[in-house]
Amino acid sequence: MKLWKFILTRVGLWALTILVGVTIVFFIQRMLPSDPIETMIGKIVTMGSTLTPDAVQAIRESLMKQYGLSGSMLEQYVATLGRMLTLDFGPSMSSYPTAVSQLIGQALPYTVGLLLITTLISWIVGNAIGLLAGFKKNAWYSKFLETVSMCIYPIPYFIMALVIMILFAYINRWFPLIPSMPKFSFTFDWVKGVVYNSFMPALSLMLVGTGWWIISMKSLSSGVAEEDFVNYGRLKGLSEATIGYRYVFRNSILSQVTALALQIGGLFSGSLMCEIIFDYPGVGQLISTAIYNADYNLLIGLITISIIAVATATLIIDLIYPFLDPRIRYK
Amino acid sequence: MNNNYKANFRQVWKSMNLRLKIGLAIVLLFLILGFVVYLFSPGNVMGLSNFRKNLKPSWDHLFGTNKQGQDTFWLLISSIHMSMILGILVAFFATAIGVMMGLFAGFVGGAVDRVIMFVCDSIISIPSLPILILMGSVLKGRASIYIIALILILFNWPWPARQSRSMALTLRERDFINTAHFAGEGRFKIIAVEILPHVLSWSMANFVNTILVAIGAEASLAVLGLSSTTTPTLGNMIYWARQYQAIMLKQWLWIGSPVVATALLFIGLFLTYTGYNDYTAAKRGR
Amino acid sequence: MMRLEDVSGQYKTITGAVQAVNHVTFEIRDDEIFGIAGESGCGKSTLLKLMYDIVRFPLELSGGRVVLQTKKGELASGEISKAWWDQISYVPQAAMSVLNPVYRIEEQFFELFRRHRRGEGRRAMRERVEQYLTELELPLDVLTAYPHQLSGGMRQRVVIAMATFLQPDMIFADEPTTALDVVVQRNILMMLTGLQQKMHNTLVIVSHDMGVHYQITNRLGIMYSGNLVELGPTEEIFAHPLHPYTRMLIAALPRVGDRSEREGIAGAPPSLRNPPPGCRFAPRCKYACPGCRESVPVLTEVEPGRFAACLRMDELKGGA
């Protein structure tokens, strides 16, 4: 019974978070000091794109709708919400008439793929190393690993990205400066192409990510290793391996799952920065294009999708948690 | 009198762990660079074509000059100066406001508490970078560094508010508070005398961490060109270096010095933060 | 069964070593319930740890040794861990928090099986465990529960069941009844005595509660400030206590029908860092004489199996 209540609360919070986020985006749009529509139309015309007067009028109307300059504030707000539910963000201004949702749809898989794989790998590897370091916290390698992680973790993702770029693409020409993703096909060649072109951003994300998991898992598991039930496990004559896995690991990993949920926002922001630095064809690069072209439709769409993505990822992890912790599942 | 201070200092220094010492040393280095060395800066470092472009390092220009005709060394020093001011400003106000709101919410409770917590949770659960990007692009060009600071304060006060509220809640139940209450002490006096020391030590750690977060956020925006591009900060220096293809042109000092400086500063702040946490935990006998 | 030969133990602290157990020598026999009594801080828990050989920093064995003799052979301090759970087991203080929170109780029983016996199929193992719990009159649905779902008393009983499951020859229990209400206390004590009577093994009970010792122990040792000050059959000790400290401990116990005022023991145990010269109990002792503060009384055998460490015990033997 309590489990259902938990699920419902979490889903409710998810919806609320998205609502608040979209509301904030809504109000930020209204912070524009000058008439953005005419400015944008002016910019588009001067950029020399071949637009018929009808097309210009269509853009003006869609922009009016987007900015909700028709109707009262409440009507505008409700309309925005409605459009968001159908993921309709209108046409992109820099790549007219492609729909914003289409552009995002093309970029999103790359971002999700990158994030998923790097997060998974760094979480697993980081926790494994951290567990070892925490369990055997007096061994020399424990201190060493912790120190190294402490020097890597605080470095912002984009700094790490720049360092890797300089080292791996300029000084040693191992990886391409500008990635070119092969067209999708279910072949090994495609996989190889993607991996080769994604290696640098992935490495940046994984290095910093792993550092964090090592540090937090080490402190967690060394704390758990001091607990009464772990000591008692030893008195029962159980082997160190059993203690390490069944006692220390299974109890520390719970906090790490929660920590993962809390970190999703930061991980997402980090991957955005890395994508931008490396010109990786994901959501991040789209954002930098949108900024450069003052393509507000695209930008608003991207920001909204970002908020939804982060909230959803957090929700998924929160829902997994009860299956790992019996204290939540029962009573 | 002097001897007392020296002795006290030495004792405190000895009891600190290595991590904290190294962290403080690095932060001190940056404070010196950003505030003492800065005093000698010639001013208007951002001026284009101040000097001849692309000069090699010499005694006139320690790090040479860059493609914009700026002295790289003084540009770096000014950037460190500005970034640190921003970080400290944001961290100070965010922590101060956050702690006050949190304590207030925790002690008063009821509807006030719920409203404040709702606002905090909303701000915490929304990823900040996308929103910052949106705000940055809306204010593009017109944003002064202080507007950016204000926005960052807005995003960073909820976390200390949440933490100090939990502290207020647990402390509220503790016996020694009830004792003071029953002895007739006024509410605010209780807060000031009994609670504040606990909260203060946590706030110090959080303050250091927030400096890190603030500088990082501004730098992220700056690298995208969304910060106040005419103000010298570490992020902006990187932005302009990239704009002028510094990497391609192998202008290592121009792109490399802010990158290394940022990395080092963050490591220093982080070591101070965790070192301080370990230090206070050890003092409490954990 | 178990012999303690001049055992001393100390805790290494930043400001030096603190001697918690001093030159303790005695013997524990087969098929008995042996009690160790004394107030908090007297060193009885430390002694128990030394006996079970849980010697980890900052505790260290500073002198003598413990010898465990079982059907499988002899083991001395340092090797006793080989016998853990199989021949000797341990029920710790505050059994509330010693169970792994993420596994069901039956899983934790299976763990022991796999480690110390050949692990059999789950069904076979479960049958054995269920059979054992029924013998102990514990409800079977405890098995599918997680530790946090059980009450404190039930957890204590489960821990005892786990400790006795493999039928070890010796079971150490550190304050098994503290922090439990009287009804549960009685259940625990009955459970322990029932087990001992059935399996004819040895139970070593550490408790500050003299009432517990009176109820179930056969032989009793009294500790004060790290020293063993009296030893003998429980009934004898209660009937004719020799050491002044024992006398006062017993006098402090309430008795049914006796309405006279209980006499507490004034003062506090001495600091283990700077113990007073001579007999450590002298500062609080009613019968202390000048000689008591000069030399440390030695544990002497007054009658076969009856020991006490007091300079004036012969004189004081008269009164009860």
Residue with tokens 């001579």: C278
> Which of the four CATH numbers 3.40.1110.10, 3.40.50.300, 3.40.50.10490, 3.40.50.1370 does domain C2-87+168-254+266-318 have?
3.40.50.300
Q: Is A291 on the interface with B (CB under 8 A)?
A: yes
Query: Which pLDDT value is given to residue C35?
Result: 92
As a whole number of angstroms, the distance between CA A305 and CA A87 comes to 9
In a mutational test of the A interface, the residue from B223, B227, B234, B251 whose CB has the highest number of chain A CBs within 10 Å is: B223
Q: Binning pLDDT at 50, 70 and 90, where does residue A314 land?
A: confident
What is the percent of chain C where pLDDT is above 70?
95
**Cross-chain residue pair C115–A236, CB shorter than 8 Å:** yes
CA distances B210 to A141, A219, C14, C281, Å, are: 31, 21, 36, 58
**Cross-chain residue pair A326–C146, CB shorter than 8 Å:** yes
Query: Which pLDDT value is given to residue B94?
Result: 94
Point out the residue among A32, A170, A310 whose CB comes nearest to the CB of B247. A170
Tell me the average pLDDT across A202-228: 87
Is the CB of residue A90 less than 8 Å from the CB of residue A297? Answer: yes
Whether domain B36-283 has CATH 1.10.3720.10? yes
Q: What angle do CA B282, A233, C31 make, to 5 degrees?
A: 120
Query: Which pLDDT value is given to residue B188?
Result: 58
Query: Which pLDDT value is given to residue A253?
Result: 85
ipTM score: 0.81
**Cross-chain residue pair C102–A251, CB shorter than 8 Å:** yes
Tell me the average pLDDT across C236-250: 86
Query: Which pLDDT value is given to residue B90?
Result: 94
**Cross-chain residue pair B130–A158, CB shorter than 8 Å:** no
What is the percent of chain C where pLDDT is above 90?
7
Q: Measured between CA atoms, how close is B263 to chain A, in angstroms?
A: 5
pLDDT reading at A53 higher than 50 = yes
pLDDT reading at B286 higher than 50 = no
- Report helix angle A140-152 to B252-283, nearest 10: 130
Tell me the average pLDDT across C302-308: 82
pLDDT reading at C296 higher than 60 = yes
A33-42, A216-225, B216-225 — which one is most confidently predicted on average?
A: B216-225
Which residues, listed in sequence order, are joined to residue C75 by a DSSP beta bridge? C68
Question: Which residue in A has a C-alpha nearest to residue B269's C-alpha?
Answer: A154
A48-57, A169-178, A235-244 — which one is most confidently predicted on average?
A: A235-244
Name the nearest CA neighbour of C115 among A227, A244, A234: A234
Q: Binning pLDDT at 50, 70 and 90, where does residue C319 land?
A: very low
As a whole number of angstroms, the distance between CA A154 and CA A148 comes to 11
> Which range is least confidently modeled, A25-39, A97-111, B39-53, B237-251?
A25-39
H-run or E-run covering C60: strand C59-70
Q: What is the mean pLDDT of chain A?
A: 81
H-run or E-run covering A168: none
Which residues, listed in sequence order, are joined to residue C76 by a DSSP beta bridge? C67
Tell me the average pLDDT across C26-31: 88
**Cross-chain residue pair A156–B262, CB shorter than 8 Å:** yes
Q: Do chains C and A touch (3 or more CB pairs under 8 A)?
A: yes
In a mutational test of the A interface, the residue from C53, C102, C155, C164 whose CB has the highest number of chain A CBs within 10 Å is: C102
pLDDT reading at B3 higher than 70 = no
Residue A44: what residue type? I
Residues with Cβ within 8 Å of residue C141, at least 6 apart in sequence: none
**Cross-chain residue pair A269–B220, CB shorter than 8 Å:** yes
C78-135 per-position pLDDT tens digit: 888 888 888 889 988 877 788 998 889 998 998 888 888 876 788 888 888 998 888 8
Name the nearest CA neighbour of C193 among C26, C35, C305: C35
pLDDT reading at B239 higher than 90 = no
Query: Which pLDDT value is given to residue A277?
Result: 87
Tell me the average pLDDT across A148-173: 86
**What does the domain layout of chain C look like in residue ranges?**
2-87+168-254+266-318, 97-167
Question: Residue B49 CA to chain centroid, in angstroms?
Answer: 32
B131-190 per-position pLDDT tens digit: 888 888 777 666 678 888 888 999 999 989 988 888 877 766 665 555 555 555 555 566
In a mutational test of the B interface, the residue from A94, A158, A268 whose CB has the highest number of chain B CBs within 10 Å is: A158
Tell me the average pLDDT across C298-315: 79
Chain A residues with CB under 8 Å of B250 CB are 170
Q: Binning pLDDT at 50, 70 and 90, where does residue C219 land?
A: very high
> Which range is least confidently modeled, A264-273, B264-273, C197-206, C283-292?
C283-292
**Cross-chain residue pair A236–C112, CB shorter than 8 Å:** yes
Chain A residues with CB under 8 Å of B256 CB are 166
Residue with tokens 């009159």: C137
Point out the residue among B125, B262, B274 whose CB comes nearest to the CB of A17. B125
Residues with Cβ within 8 Å of residue C137, at least 6 apart in sequence: none
Tell me the average pLDDT across A302-308: 87
Q: Binning pLDDT at 50, 70 and 90, where does residue B26 land?
A: very high
Residue scoring higher pLDDT (A34 or C176): C176
Question: Which residue in B has a C-alpha nearest to residue A162's C-alpha?
Answer: B259
Q: Is B249 on the interface with A (CB under 8 A)?
A: no
Ordered DSSP codes for A58-105: HHHHHHHHHTT-SS-HHHHHHHHHHHHHTT---B-STTTTSBHHHHHH
Query: Which pLDDT value is given to residue B193?
Result: 67
Is the CB of residue C176 less than 8 Å from the CB of residue C8? Answer: no
Q: Measured between CA atoms, how close is A9 to chain C, in angstroms?
A: 23
**Cross-chain residue pair C115–A239, CB shorter than 8 Å:** yes
Query: Which pLDDT value is given to residue C156?
Result: 87
Question: Which residue in B has a C-alpha nearest to residue A32's C-alpha?
Answer: B138
Query: Which pLDDT value is given to residue B265?
Result: 93
A13-27, A52-66, B147-161, C302-316 — which one is most confidently predicted on average?
A: B147-161
Is the CB of residue A283 less than 8 Å from the CB of residue A108? Answer: yes
Question: Which residue in B has a C-alpha nearest to residue A309's C-alpha?
Answer: B127
Is the CB of residue C222 less than 8 Å from the CB of residue C24? Answer: no
pLDDT reading at B194 higher than 80 = no
